[in-house]
Structure 1
Amino acid sequence: MRDFFSGVGFFIEGFGWVSRNGRWWLFGLIPAVIAFAVYVVALIFLATNATELATFLTPFADSWSWREGFRAVVGVALFLGGLALAVLTFVALTLTIGDPFYERLSAAVDVLETEDDQPWWRTLPRSVRDSLVTLFYMLVFTIPLFALGFVPVVGQTVVPVLGAAVSGFFLTVELTTLALERRGMARKERFALLRANKATTLGFGVAVFLLFLIPFVAVIAMPAAVAGAALLVRTRLAPTPDPAP
């Protein structure tokens, strides 16, 4: 548990860093606000069309006397699924949109004497590809958990805990990518490193996940999450001596 709470502490340290460096916080808000606006529009569209989409997906229920109630439940489930997907993919989209922003923010937090430095337009295709791979792995776990969420008792107790753990792990994967790539680490090496430090990884990621569930807080907290991930890498995952003054 000590390592788990140590991971939570790095997220808190990220807030401390950006609060002491306000211009970086504002700088990091720009892509987060853009991504948030995209998700708001998408979720509003989903909410206003959930009933029609539920009807389209359940033609087998046309003859049921209770089809309206059933489709209302399906519509709510579709919206909740979209909301969960938005939370899970918010970091990936924000990092993709704000790649040049967050590279500079991560580098400001985690100063290296030597690093694998490449222009952002060269690393962007690789970042998008890695994000898609991470999203695929995330969905492999979260889709079955979403289905199990409808199982009585288990769906209200065990599944939320497992869902937070899975989501937290993959959020840490996304957020630490910048700092680990600057050390020349490929995707497989990054995954192996995070699995080897699972408790700390989960502590950081679960804290981010739970906070990101609160509307708009994800936008405000995104720069802190990037800063905290850089501190996590620098201090725990791939310790680097402080540069000479």
Structure 2
Amino acid sequence: MQYPINSPLSGARYFVEGVRLLLHPKLRAYILIPLLVNIALFVVLTGALIYYIGVFQDGLHIDVPDWLQVVADFLLHLLSLVLIVLVLIIYAYSFNIITNIIAAPFYGMLAEKAEELLTGTKIESEPLVRMIPRVFKRELKKLLYFIIRGILISLIMLLVGLTVPVVGTFLAPLIGLAWSAWCMTLQYADYPADNHRCSFTAIRRKLAQRSMSSFGFGGMITACSVIPVLNIIAMPAAVTGGTIYWLNELRDCPCKY
């Protein structure tokens, strides 16, 4: 399990290795409930995704003089692209947030067992009665972090899209994708960090120091999260991949609870 440190390629490979590790027989018991949650959310959110993409495609139309029609069509196609990218980001983000709130304790156990398989060392266990409320509290803290900064990022995207001609139309979705990748990395690298009582603030700082591998890892999760069916297994695979990431680059995180 040797990878170059802090590169987009290494980050992407952590996710791929996480998919492979997920197939280990000793981890099957820890992915059953998360998978059932994912399947239920998949049905609901994918239906909403199809509906809203259809609304955007059918509703974007303006009446202009014939001599402006070519320009209007071009701008509407660009706007459609931006809106569809935003809807896909919201889809992936919603899928992850809801799943993680419901399945967080099980993901913590999955990360724990994955680390034990990889290192051969047993992690000190915590009783469920204490772990569940603590994990939910941490998930809510992450959710607040994502929402507050997500609003700011959305405003920046809107400002860039409206004030920078043409280029802003392409740049705004890229800003959104970068933010989504960062959120995904922070979400899934946090499970093994939490198992070792590394604070949320400390893991954020550590991931910021590993920005290239962070965006590579989060970019892979984001890409898989927007693909229906594949996103069902992407979440538990991100947990095992995040555990590999933790062991290879992040476990010297010094701050504890």
* 1:7 equivalent among 8, 11, 18: 11
Q: Is the 8 A contact 1:180 1:233 kept in 2?
A: yes
Q: What is the aligned partner in structure 2 of residue 155 from structure 1?
A: 169
- The yes-or-no answer on 1:92 pairing with 2:97 is yes
Q: Is the 8 A contact 2:37 2:99 kept in 1?
A: yes
C-alpha spacing 1:146/1:19, structure 2 compared with 1 (3 Å): farther
- The yes-or-no answer on 1:18 pairing with 2:22 is yes
- SS of the residue aligned with 2:216? helix
Shift of residue 223, structure 1, vs aligned partner: 1.4
| 2:46 aligned partner, one-letter code | V
Shift of residue 228, structure 1, vs aligned partner: 0.2
Q: What whole-Å deviation, never above 9, does each CA across 1:17-58 have from its counterpart, x for those lacking one?
A: 01233725852422222332332344356467769xx89xxx
Structure 2 gaps of 5+ residues are: 65-71, 117-121
Range 182-191 or range 18-27, more displaced: 18-27
C-alpha spacing 1:192/1:115, structure 2 compared with 1 (3 Å): farther
Shift of residue 174, structure 1, vs aligned partner: 0.9
| Equivalent-residue separation in structure 1 for 2:30 and 2:51 (angstroms) | 30
Q: Is the 8 A contact 1:116 1:181 kept in 2?
A: no
- SS of the residue aligned with 1:98? helix
| Equivalent-residue separation in structure 1 for 2:99 and 2:5 (angstroms) | 30
- The yes-or-no answer on 1:174 pairing with 2:187 is yes
Q: What is the aligned partner in structure 2 of residue 59 from structure 1?
A: none
| Equivalent-residue separation in structure 1 for 2:201 and 2:243 (angstroms) | 19
Q: TM-score normalised to the size of structure 2? A: 0.72
Matches within 5 A, 1:32-71: 32-43=38-49, 46=52
| 1:226 aligned partner, one-letter code | V
How many residue pairs match? The answer is 228
C-alpha spacing 1:12/1:78, structure 2 compared with 1 (3 Å): closer
Q: What is the aligned partner in structure 2 of residue 141 from structure 1?
A: 153
| Equivalent-residue separation in structure 2 for 1:23 and 1:45 (angstroms) | 34
* 2:197 equivalent among 181, 184, 203: 184
Range 9-18 or range 20-29, more displaced: 20-29
* 1:218 equivalent among 207, 223, 231: 231
Range 167-176 or range 1-10, more displaced: 1-10
Q: How large is the RMSD of aligned CA atoms in angstroms? A: 3.4
| Equivalent-residue separation in structure 1 for 2:90 and 2:15 (angstroms) | 22
| Equivalent-residue separation in structure 2 for 1:193 and 1:49 (angstroms) | 41
Q: Is the 8 A contact 1:105 1:227 kept in 2?
A: yes
Q: Is the 8 A contact 2:46 2:228 kept in 1?
A: no
- SS of the residue aligned with 2:6? helix
- SS of the residue aligned with 2:23? helix
Shift of residue 13, structure 1, vs aligned partner: 0.9
C-alpha spacing 1:20/1:161, structure 2 compared with 1 (3 Å): same
- SS of the residue aligned with 1:3? coil
Q: TM-score normalised to the size of structure 1? A: 0.75
| Equivalent-residue separation in structure 1 for 2:172 and 2:241 (angstroms) | 27
Q: What whole-Å deviation, never above 9, does each CA across 1:126-150 have from its counterpart, x for those lacking one?
A: 3123222223213322442255346
- The yes-or-no answer on 1:113 pairing with 2:127 is no
